Structure formats: structure tokens, C-alpha cells
Chain A
Amino acid sequence: MTSTDQQPFLSIKDLKVHFSTEDGVVKAVDGLSFDLIKGQTLGIVGESGSGKSVTNLTILGLHDPARTSIEGEILLDGQELLTATEREMERLRGNKMSMIFQDALASLSPYHTVGIQIAETYRKHTGCGKAEARKRAIEMLRRVGIPQPDMRVDDYPHQFSGGMRQRAMIAMALVCDPELLIADEPTTALDVTVQAQIMDLLKDLQQEFGTAIIFITHDLGVIADIADDVLVMYGGRCVERGTKKEVLRDPQHPYTLGLLNSMPSLTGPVDVPLTPIPGAPPSLLNPPSGCRFHPRCAFAEKVSGGKCSSERPLLEIVDGRGSACHLTTEQKQELFADFAATRHN
């Protein structure tokens, strides 16, 4: 493990995912690059339409090939996924990489018992017999904390509660010990107390198996709890990348700053208005020129020459840290000083 630790397990380079629709081309992901090493959790934050889910469906090859054009590279453990055949993808999916979705009820088949659905994945990839797969399914249900797994294995999804369904889906995703787990808003539909349980479970399982996790969410609080590294997406692009401590304590992009400022906290001052980000997320059919955030950015006019609206800011990552913004470091220090003052006493 030690030698491969340096090597990124998943490496995405300049990924572009475009859909053609009746109204034009939707640039859902527009030049995204990131690396992920084993045993790490990368949190991807972004609002609806920021391209976070599309990125991950593309990694798994679950996009509709007829109307999607993809450019770039996705390397999983050295293997190029974008040129892989459907057969090869099938071998990887559920085995080397798997996914947990937001809506567990919609993602489980209502006609099959939970046990059969977990066993199916296992049988497909290992070629083992029914009895062995059933044993494995019970074992997995026990691992994810379902009480009386030998009885519940024969239940149908509707007999499970919301939290248990999400656990069952995690069991299904982990049944083949995948090396990459993509979790797309896995806790958004759950209550906070159950959300806390599921996040603890994912952390425990990651420790046990050394899985690399991509955790997609819109909730910066969840990110603070589970992620090692954070990638902030806006309008199909990465606007900021860093460790969770760096991004949450010392945001370097006005969008990240805006998100943090717009959230009320459990301890902050009350009776003062929140600071929202004005406007609405951009349409990806006709995205703003230059920096996609500039129409909503409070600091766009601080950059000379109208660069924000004409030139795309480049994301330069040094030691895993970077942001795509035309503001200089000195300007940010000055303009973002209020945040640091209010947030950290």
C-alpha cells in the first residue's frame, strides 16, 4: 500500500461532459481535473446544476452515450475508463467501484428482497453459488448495522425504514470490497440523527477497507464532518480545492466565501440578517462568459480591466490547494478579512 499511496488511485484530467438538447448544448462539466488517493474522502460541494452528479455518473459510465459528448481522461488505478468497452465497465462497476444514491427507495427494486439484491452483485462478480452469496449478504447487512440480519435479509425494501434502506444500499455497494465508492448525496433524504449514523458508518467502513470515497453533497456541514479534501464546483467547473480545514477556515474563492456566509449556524449571532449570494445559479445552456460566478460575485469590480467577464480564471493547484479567481492573494486577504474575523473570534 505504501508505494501506491503516492499514486492517485483515481485521476481525472480536463473532463468535459456536454449534452445536446433541443435548446442547445448543455455544458454540464467544463474542464474538471482532480486526483484522489486511496483511503481518502473527497467531498464535492456544489448547488444543483453545478455538474457534481454528472461527473460521477460519467466516472461510472452511466451516462447516455447517444446524447453525451465527453472529452478528457478518467484513469482508475491506471486504467482509462472513457475508452473502456461496456463489458469492461460492467466488470468494474459494483466490483472495483460502486455508488450509493440519494433516494434509496427508488434505487432498490421493490420486487426483490434486499438479500437477493445484495447477493446478485456478489454472484455476478465472484461467480459463487447462491448459498455462499446469501451468507455474504447476511454478513454485509450485519456489517452495516442492520439488526437480526439473518431475518431481515428476506425482507423487501418497503419493510425497511429510510435509514435501513440507505444501510442496505451501502451493503450492496460494498459487497465486493470496492476500492472506490461514490456517494451522491447519500444522507440528504435522511433525518439528522440518522444522517449522523450513516456518516459514522461510512467512516468506520472506510477505515476498515481503505476505500477511496467521493462524497457529493450540497451541505458544507456534512463536508466538515466526513471529508479530508474538498472540491467546490460551480457551473461545471472546480472553483476551489484544498483540505477541508483550508477551504472551510480560509476560503479563497468568493463563491465558497458566499456559501459559508449564507449559512446560519447553531452558535453564531442571531437577529442579524444572513448574507446571501445574490442572483441564481447560471443556466449551463448559456453560461456566463469568463468566470462563471462573476454575475453574482461581490468582488468582480475589484479586478481591473473587466477580466472576470472576459477571461476564464485558471485553477492552479499547488500542494493540493488552489482556487480559480482573478483576485490576487493580497486582495483576498483584505476583502475576506471580515469573514475570518466573524467566523473564528
Chain B
Amino acid sequence: MSNTNPLLDVSGLTKHFPIKGGFPIRRTVGAVQAVDGLDFQVSAGESLGLVGESGCGKSTTGRLITRLMEPTAGTIKYQGQDITHAGRKQLAPIRSEIQMIFQDPYASLNPRQTVGSIISGPMEINGIDPQGGREKRVRELLEIVGLNPEHYNRFPHEFSGGQRQRIGVARALALEPKLIVADEPVSALDVSIQAQVVNLLQKVQRELGIAFVFIAHDLAIVRHFSQRVAVMYLGKIMEIADREDLYDNPRHPYTRALLSAVPEATVDEEPRERIRLVGDVPSPINPPSGCRFRTRCWKATEKCATDAPPLVQVEGNKPGHLTACHYPEAPETIPAPRLAKDPEAAA
């Protein structure tokens, strides 16, 4: 993916949370290395999925690029403009272009505000007066997200979980953003409702051309929603690729293990080949040296303990498919029908 002019350009992004000692001196005695040197780009209208297990830093990444948190190191460029340490004033115009959708539809809406004032809130703050007035715009937005515009004056508790998440989506759309960071937008919802919200987000992404950073732990949903996917582990990107390459030809042992651990609702005649990782994710306070995955990797050698593998295009990968591993898995002979979406492009 050679992006000459990406919408979002992140390089070396790092966030360490200091750990303070006890009373009385409260010195910094260590750091939780939540995110450690991420490089990725998001082009306009594209959806990048961030997947990984809990503690891998995917949510922190979301909060860093929305600048809800201050990065420790690295740079974040939005439309070529460095916003890594931008102050409030400089951020103000950008804030309206980068919006966020949160996981918990119960906690992210103010219970004392009506739906109308929740959704018009961003317009009020930014002093935006759309044609025909804010109320008309809110009603339009409610319609876009599939809610009844008549519900303008209702309170969040009058809605179900799926409907509340729609309100969250409407609020994020209110300022016509160019980038939406969605942090586990469907994981709190029932299975039958998840699909409704995923479809809505997909519609929004397509029709309004909004770029997404889609953070989730559910690999199937990420595959469904994102054109490019980055797999994270302990604050680092292990592998990043276009959707088809990542899911059909995973090169990093962790990606492969993660994919094989996903339970699928199908009954196979022959059981799938499974890779069972032993142990748990190590603590990000004191992550393993070298490759962070090496303590659970079945291929790890001494080299893995000393040299951190760079995120590069390993041999056999397509351009844009980057893997951080000294001993990548053999490329798969990909079954043709799964990849060839467009026969002409494949030829």
C-alpha cells in the first residue's frame, strides 16, 4: 500500500504509562508499555481493523490517534499536519473531523440528556449551524442510523442496547467526520443485534466515504468490516496486510494461532488444524526482550530473544503485507476461488 498522501500517518507511536511508587516520594518505578512503536497509515475512505487480545494496546492506540491521550513518543500526522503534541487550539478544528464510537452504549450516553441534545452536542460545541437548523440535522441523522426521527425528545434509557449504539453512531456523524475510531462498537451487543450495527457502520463507511479505525477482538467481524487489518500483540504490530492476504495467507505464527483459535459455528467432517498457544499474554510492564511473542511461540530461538524482528515485507508477501517475524510461516498455496474476487484483476 503505497500511500502518497494518507489521511492518517502514524509512525513510531509509543505510549508508556508510568507506574508510581508508594508514599512518600512517589517516584516513577516503571512503565506499562501499552503501545510501543506503531507504524501504520489509513487512507481516506479506508477501514483499518486493529485486532488483538486484551492488553495488546489496541484501545490505547485508538485513544492516541483521537488525541484523548498524549503519546510518549512517535508522530501522528493527520492530513500531513503533525498533531502529536498539538494543543487545544490547534486540535479544535481537527477534533470535529476525527470522531469516536465507544464500546459501552450504556456508559457513553448521558442519561440526563435527550437524544436530540446528545446528537446536537457536537454541533453546539463547534458552533456549527447547519442549513435548516440543528434540529432538522439531528432528525436527518436519526433517519440515517435507522431510528425514528420522532424519538428526538426521548432519553437513552428508553432505547435498547442496539438502538443506543445507533445514537452513538449518529453523534459521531454529526460533524461529518473524515475518520471514525470505533472501539469495540458491537462487542457489548447481542449476536442478532451485532449484525444490524455492523451493517449500519458499513453503510456509513461506503456512502459517506468515512475512513475507519475499527478496533475489535472478534476476527470474523474485523474481516467483514475492514479492508486492511493489523494484528497487535503486547503493544506492537505483529502483522499488517490487506484483508485477503492476512486471513488467507497469515505469515506470523501469532496470526495463525489467533485465527485457528476462533471457534466457528460450523461442524466440519474433519476437525480443523488447531494451534494451541500455552500460557497467557505476558505483562506489558516487563515485556519479553526481542520479539514479544517469543514466550508463547513454538518457533522461537535465541535470535528471537535478542533481536526484535522488524515489521517488513517478508519473502513471499505481496506489497503492503508486512510481518514482524524472524521465522515466518511458509506462504500458503491459496485456494484460488477465495481470493479471486475479480477474475480480471487476478489475471
Q: Which residues of A contact B (CB under 8 A)?
A: 47-48, 161-164, 191-197, 199-200, 218-225, 244-245, 248-249, 258-260, 262-267, 270-271, 273-278, 280-281, 296, 343
Contact = CB atoms under 8 A, between A and B. Distances in A.
Give the 4 A-B CB pairs with smallest separation, nearest first: A221-B263, A276-B195, A262-B195, A191-B53
Contacts of B161: 280
B280 A163 contact: yes
B195 A225 contact: no
A267 B338 contact: yes
Interface of B: 53-54, 160-163, 190-196, 198-199, 202-203, 217, 219-221, 223-224, 243, 247, 257-259, 261-267, 274, 276-278, 280-281, 338, 341
Contacts of A224: 263-267
Contacts, number: 127
Nearest to A262: B195
Contact of B262 (A221, A259, A271): A221
A223 B191 CA distance: 14
Contacts of A196: 261, 263, 274, 276-277
A244 B224 CA distance: 25
B221 A164 contact: no
B265 A270 contact: no
A222 B160 CA distance: 26
A191 B274 CA distance: 16
A263 B160 contact: no
B261 A195 contact: yes
Nearest to B225: A264
A260 B191 CA distance: 9
A193 B267 contact: no
Contacts of A218: 190-191
Contacts of B263: 192, 195-196, 199, 219, 221-222, 224-225
A164 B280 CA distance: 8
A164 B53 CA distance: 16
Given A47-B191, A191-B53, A263 B220 contact: yes
A277 B162 CA distance: 12
A266 B192 contact: no
B198 A48 contact: no
A265 to B, nearest CB: 6
Given A266-B220, A280-B160, A280-B162, A192 B193 contact: no
Contacts of A273: 199, 202-203
A270 B53 contact: no
Given A262-B191, A263-B191, A191 B217 contact: yes
B190 A281 contact: yes
Contacts of B265: 220-221, 223-224, 248, 260, 263, 265
Contacts of A194: 53, 280
A248 B266 contact: yes
Contacts of A48: 190
B5 to A, nearest CB: 25
Contact of B54 (A191, A197, A223): A191
B276 A265 contact: no
A220 to B, nearest CB: 4
Given A200-B276, A260-B265, A276 B219 contact: no
A266 B259 contact: yes
Given A197-B278, A221-B265, 4 more contacts: A47-B192, A48-B190, A197-B277, A200-B276
A271 B203 CA distance: 11
